[in-house]
Amino acid sequence: MPDRKVLKEQRETAKIRAEELKKIIEPYLQAKEQIPDGMKEWENILIRQEKIKKHFGVGDTEWNDWRWQVTRRIYRVETLVKLLGLTLEEAENIRKVGEKYRWALSPYYLSLIDPKDPHCPVRRQAIPSFEELMDSGGKDDPMGEEFTSPAPAVTRRYPDRLIINVTNQCAMYCRHCQRRRNIGEVDRSTPREQLQAALNYVRQNEEIRDVLLTGGDAFMLNNELIDWLLTELDNIPHVEIKRLGVRALVTMPMRVTDALCSVLEKHAPVYVNAQFNHPMEVTPAVAEACRKLTRAGVALGNQAVLLAGVNDTAHIMKKLNHELLKIMVRPYYIFHAKAVKGTAHFRTRVDVGIAIMEELRGFTSGLAIPTFIVNAPEGYGKTPMLPEYLVSMSKDNILIRTWENRVMKYENKC
């Protein structure tokens, strides 16, 4: 039997440590209550949705039809003035930006914007800002995608995987979009002959085991075309997994219909990578869409973009990741914003992202910790940016720095 006195001492030590840990998390527990999220704000969002429905003269049936959401995307300044109460200066700035950069957002995503908050993180992602015209240093294609396309509609930057760009269409044109150069005045799916050429390239290169369908937004394709593409990939023996890059799960969750889920269920394994950037984007409507997808056997991941004024604090990023895990979406990446022309106001220093990672590792569960990524220039791929936890190394020992900044010796022997 263990000595009672020893047990008592161990328990007291554990209690002291537990109190230390409680003090460590207190700042986040206080901060998270001040961070709005789509679950807590749902009643207010529903009120805004009723206003938007009234403006369009529709009811729930139309609102919940993704095709209606697409055809009624808002791209006129006059509509924003009515529904957001913009000032004349704000309206004029949007007009000026719209002369250079296309913009549009779904009625659903508009309902997430708090019209009383000029710094609303949802608004910042969706509504053009005059800051877009002040960026003189960005590039149209900082990733060099035009030089990593060995076949029509293909982007290849890695040995065993590639992208097929299937459309230029989105439910919303994000103001930080990395492919804004592809957003023309006409929405279009990639022509069938180009898709065939891309599939032929996959067939001819047996090392390709992972294919990502993106664009644009893969969920903007109709179910029949998605089914055809996935069937073609299923019939290529060396393709092991299929991925779809989407934002519609965030900006238009009604796109996830039972019919779409039936298509995806036939083609396992299928992975869907979304882009949630703020807790306000996680709503009951999104949660239901995620439940449908997971019931269909689809694995869900998130690729956030680090955006100044949206999510560039550890508390916001942590709450976002917690909210995502609650709806079965695994935080996968945090991307440092690329130097795309017209988006300089979104970019942070790289050390901002590293500092956020410092405040995630150890402070929350590993499931809630994505990898912070910088994309190397000219298409040379994703490069992880990590805090340094290895202090030094000798033949028999290493010095490590823990998540609490404790420096400790660790034996390094076989």
Question: What pLDDT is attached to residue 1?
Answer: 61
More confident residue, 24 or 141: 24
Helices and strands in the chain, H and E counts? 15, 12
Nearest to 68 by CA among 54, 58, 83: 58
- What's the rounded Cα separation, in Å, for the pair 202 and 207? 9
- What's the rounded Cα separation, in Å, for the pair 388 and 358? 9
pLDDT in tens, 177-219: 988 777 766 788 999 999 999 999 999 999 999 999 998 999 9
Q: How many CB atoms lie within 10 A of CB 334?
A: 25
pLDDT in tens, 221-255: 999 999 999 999 999 999 999 999 999 999 999 99
- What's the rounded Cα separation, in Å, for the pair 153 and 69? 27
Mean pLDDT to the nearest integer, 264-279: 98
Q: Give the containing element (helix H, strand E) for 16.
A: helix 4-32
Name the burial class of residue 50, with classes exposed (0-12), middle (13-18) and buried (19+) by CB atoms within 10 angstroms of its CB: exposed
pLDDT in tens, 123-161: 999 999 999 999 878 777 776 677 889 999 999 999 999
Mean pLDDT to the nearest integer, 380-405: 92
Give 395's pLDDT tier (boundaries 50, 70, 90).
Answer: confident
Question: What pLDDT is attached to residue 221?
Answer: 97
- What's the rounded Cα separation, in Å, for the pair 138 and 175? 14
Give 352's pLDDT tier (boundaries 50, 70, 90).
Answer: very high
- What's the rounded Cα separation, in Å, for the pair 297 and 311? 30
pLDDT in tens, 36-90: 999 999 999 999 999 999 999 999 999 999 999 999 999 999 999 999 999 999 9
Residue with tokens 């949802």: 122
Facing residues of 270 across strands? 242
Give the tokens for residue 81: 């003035």
Distances (CA, A) of 195 to 198, 214, 217, 331: 5, 12, 15, 30
Nearest to 252 by CA among 107, 125, 36: 107
Nearest to 245 by CA among 208, 227, 219, 224: 219
Question: What pLDDT is attached to residue 188?
Answer: 84
Question: What pLDDT is attached to residue 184?
Answer: 63
